Amino acid sequence: MPSTVYRAPRLSALAAVLLAAWAWMGQEAWAAPLDPPATDPVLQLLQDKGLVSKESAAEGNTLVRQVRDVASELVLSAMNFLGVPYKRGGDSADDGFDCSGFTRHIFEMSLGLVLPRRVDDQASASGLVRIRREELRPGDLVFFNTLRRTFSHVGIYIGEGKFIHAPRTGSEVRIEDMRQAYWDRRFTGARRAETTGSAVQGATPGPEKAERKAAPAR
């Protein structure tokens, strides 16, 4: 696994601040360009809450922009679990998550969609549609070949080329960049929920002829 990781602050408090700021400012204000760090009201709120220091205002400004751009319930829900430990077979914040347990928990909690438990079954589930990499939007599932299987790892795309996932034993839920060589070589496809209705039913896995076959994991 790559060692360079984009680490955002824990988002339980940050998400609450951002959502409160969104309600206070109105959605139209979120679409407006950011002011310089000294006058941006959301960044000021983050600084007042101690989530971004004045010394790291530029970095905080970038974070605010990225979270604003992808401010959906699903993405913010996922980011609330940053730092939760990885646990093989885990599917809760109390016990920890593995990759598919994490995506299943977020989709059920945010959209009411019950995904299959296994990664490869999530990739072939009815109710999810295939999308190309250039069509990715925040909240889409992204799949990777990390165990010499086309669909052996899954995460949630959050925008700006980044995704959130539960990586591996000894790690924790975190954000990484899909453009890093490791992940770029192993990307094998993406899926988007086509409805926000009832449970997604598992489908019989079939050949993924239109998908790119990633390089085998090393």
Q: Pick the catalytic residue: 99, 136, 141, 164? A: 99
Taking alpha carbons only, the member of 78, 17, 104, 96 closest to residue 52 is 17
Q: How far apart are CA 147 and CA 155, in angstroms?
A: 15
C-alpha torsion sign, points 197, 203, 207, 213: positive
Out of 165, 174, 186, 191, pick the active-site residue. 165
Can 105 be counted among the known catalytic residues? no
Q: Give catalytic status of residue 165 as yes or no.
A: yes
Query: What is the Cα Rg of the chain in Å?
Result: 18
Task: Give me the catalytic one of 68, 105, 153, 162.
Answer: 153
Map residue 15 onto helix, strand or coil: helix
> Nearest 5°: phi and psi at 130?
-70, 140
Q: Which residues are catalytic?
A: 99, 153, 165
